Structure 1
Amino acid sequence: MAVAEVMAELAALEDPKVLEVNRRHGDAHGVNLGQLRVLAKRLGTQQDLARELWATGGASARLLAILVCRPRAFDRDELDAMVREARTPKVHDWLVSYVVRKSPYGEELRVAWLADPDPGVESAGWALTTDRVAKRPEGLDLGALLDEIEAEMSGAPDRLQWAMNHCLAQIGIEHEKYRARAIDVGERLRVLEDYPTPPNCTSPFAPVWITEMVARRKSG
């Protein structure tokens, strides 16, 4: 399907109410994500189309591009450029989760992005690090990660702070040796302590998050 036809379908799916809600969270797409996934399933994997959709710059088009692309088909420089262009939270999160994590360049980019001066790019590095903390911690210096989080998280911009906090919580949840220190860092920094949390959801405040997830695993 030509990119113009797909863009027309996306335009037809745009819902002003969805857009209004998403804008409150810093996002810029107005398409229901369930409907977007249905469209992506119908289109199937189309790498050329994915690149064209991404190039439009539209948030909905970029989310669809992520769903129809072949993650391993992007080279390192493409992924680096894409994460720098992904300025809204949902596009940024999906790009890292669905594409970069599956790329053969993921680890190389993780290391490079952690040292990047752009907070949005650095947050992608922390998201990839959190994934490694949970799934492949071998070779990571968890103590050094906690040192950096302790020194930098409280003054970090929102998106970067959120990513560092997630890493802090993941270290405490997954690694008993570092659990007490992770909780102590969270209690002293108080980051996201007052974050509004809906009923039946876990607070992102790291000490609460760690304690609740560990308790669930023990009871399960």
Structure 2
Amino acid sequence: MARAAAPPPDVDAVLAELKGLGSEKNRLGMARFGIETGRAFGVSIAMLRPLARRLGRNHDLALALWASGFHEARLLAAFIDEPKKVTPDQMDAWASDFDSWDLCDQVCLKLFVRTPFVDDRIAAWTDDDREFVRRAGFALMAAYAVHGKTVPDARFAAFLPTIERHATDPRNFVKKAVNWALRQIGKRSMRLHAPALSLAERLAASDDRTARWIGRDAVRELSDPVQLERIARRDSSASARR
């Protein structure tokens, strides 16, 4: 006799499980890293991953978890949502809800970068004045540079003026994302390395303190011989596959 299919997961049951996994020690640790903990249970990413695997992809559950407003529920939503069902309106709504760098980055890395709307959202969000929305634009740019394997390098070279335009934004969570995007583009290929390094050197010589920090940090990484060797090796492997 065939076994009956398991009922779909219930959002209240998932929230109860998250609450049970949480701890005050973890909440305090999150706060020390600048993570908003007002609605956090204190569950680590390492504990969320097996739960996400068990739940599987589920767009409706992801929307319900996000709507709950709990930090770890929103992280879990990014892990289980179905990229093909994500819309630009959903992306904008979730980006408007970002209140922590880790939530912003995980959603961009695990979900948004897998949608077909990446270029449009990067353009819209990097020019948005809200701190975490702008961070999302640059976090998505950085994730795209890593995961957009078949995207032409010219697409990423076109992002460099956007990086330069916002390199003077002094807000901590923005400047770190701008720096991240610049470094990831520069490490994508040798063709992108030269223009990215040139921009980094120009920023490093800037009179603006924020631009100088972004540039110097990027120059340090992009000038590292180990990084150059990795980029060259990656280019060689890509050429061999073509």
TM, length-normalised to structure 1: 0.82
Q: Is 1:191–2:206 an aligned residue pair?
A: no
Residue matched to 2:155: 140
Shift of 1:46: 1.9
Contact 2:160 2:196 in 1 (8 A): no
Hey, what's the Cα distance between the residues in 2 that align with 1:158 and 1:192?
11
Moved more, 120-129 or 18-27: 120-129
Q: Percent identity?
A: 28
Q: Kindly tell me: are residues 111 and 36 of structure 1, through their superposed partners in 2, closer, same or farther at Cα, counting changes over 3 Å?
A: same
Hey, what's the Cα distance between the residues in 2 that align with 1:150 and 1:109?
18
Shift of 1:5: 1.0
Residue matched to 1:155: 169
Q: Is 1:78–2:90 an aligned residue pair?
A: yes
Shift of 1:211: 1.9
Q: Kindly tell me: are residues 22 and 218 of structure 1, through their superposed partners in 2, closer, same or farther at Cα, counting changes over 3 Å?
A: same
Residue matched to 1:178: 195
What secondary structure, in the 3-state scheme, does the structure 2 residue paired with 1:140 have? helix
Hey, what's the Cα distance between the residues in 2 that align with 1:59 and 1:141?
31
What amino acid does structure 2 have at the position aligned with 1:161?
Answer: K
What amino acid does structure 2 have at the position aligned with 1:11?
Answer: K
Larger Rg: 2
Contact 1:170 1:210 in 2 (8 A): no
Hey, what's the Cα distance between the residues in 2 that align with 1:105 and 1:219?
30
Q: Deviations over 1:34-79 (max 9, x none)?
A: 2211111121222211111110101011111111211221211011
Q: 1:3 aligns with which of 6, 11, 31?
A: 11
Residue segments in structure 2 that go unaligned for 5+ positions in a row: 1-8, 206-210, 235-242
Q: Kindly tell me: are residues 19 and 145 of structure 1, through their superposed partners in 2, closer, same or farther at Cα, counting changes over 3 Å?
A: same
Q: Deviations over 1:7-56 (max 9, x none)?
A: 11111111111111111122234102222111111212222111111101
Q: Deviations over 1:101-131 (max 9, x none)?
A: 1112222222222222223212222223334
What amino acid does structure 2 have at the position aligned with 1:7?
Answer: L
Residue segments in structure 1 that go unaligned for 5+ positions in a row: 194-203
What amino acid does structure 2 have at the position aligned with 1:123?
Answer: R
Shift of 1:6: 0.9
Q: Kindly tell me: are residues 44 and 132 of structure 1, through their superposed partners in 2, closer, same or farther at Cα, counting changes over 3 Å?
A: closer
What secondary structure, in the 3-state scheme, does the structure 1 residue paired with 2:48 have? helix
Hey, what's the Cα distance between the residues in 2 that align with 1:106 and 1:176?
22
Q: Is 1:167–2:184 an aligned residue pair?
A: no
Q: Is 1:112–2:129 an aligned residue pair?
A: no
Residue matched to 1:200: none
Shift of 1:137: 4.4
What amino acid does structure 1 have at the position aligned with 2:155?
Answer: L
Q: Is 1:127–2:128 an aligned residue pair?
A: no
Hey, what's the Cα distance between the residues in 2 that align with 1:217 and 1:139?
17
What secondary structure, in the 3-state scheme, does the structure 2 residue paired with 1:153 have? coil
Q: Deviations over 1:133-175 (max 9, x none)?
A: 4543444373x64445345323331111111111222343332
Hey, what's the Cα distance between the residues in 1 that align with 2:170 and 2:231?
31
Hey, what's the Cα distance between the residues in 2 that align with 1:141 and 1:71?
22
* Cα RMSD, aligned residues only: 2.6
Residue matched to 1:89: 101
Q: Is 1:49–2:61 an aligned residue pair?
A: yes
What amino acid does structure 2 have at the position aligned with 1:46?
Answer: N
